[in-house]
Amino acid sequence: MEIKNIPLSQIRRPLPRQTDPEKVNQLMQSIAEEGLREPIDVLEVDGNYYGFSGCHRFAAHQRLGKATILCRVRRAPKSVLAKHIA
């Protein structure tokens, strides 16, 4: 497992998630003041990044206009990705 900054534009989010606008606003304030405390988890499959959690942190970064987000990256085969999407 590796922790690194990844451009938001490179993270695919195949499963749409509902976000709580108030939670996103609170995270935006926290991230603006203190930075991101907990990386989001992403799968790396064949050089592509897929995010399935951290939807509020991801949305907060988008709304703040951040180019990258800190990620905990786990490399996985396509079979693992297929289980997440199914």
Report the alpha-carbon distance of residue 20 to residue 3 in Å, rounded.
26
pLDDT of 18-69, one tens digit each? 999 999 999 999 999 999 999 999 999 999 999 998 999 999 999 999 999 9
Q: Could you give the CA distance from residue 1 to residue 31 in angstroms, rounded to a whole number? A: 24
CATH of domain 2-85: 3.90.1530.10
**So where are the chain's domains?**
2-85
CA distance 14 to 44: 13
Contact 28, 58 (CB under 8 A): no
Report the predicted TM-score, pTM, of the whole model to 2 decimal places. 0.91
**Amino acid at site 56:** H
Angle at the Cα of 19 from the Cα atoms of 16 and 24, rounded to 5 degrees = 135
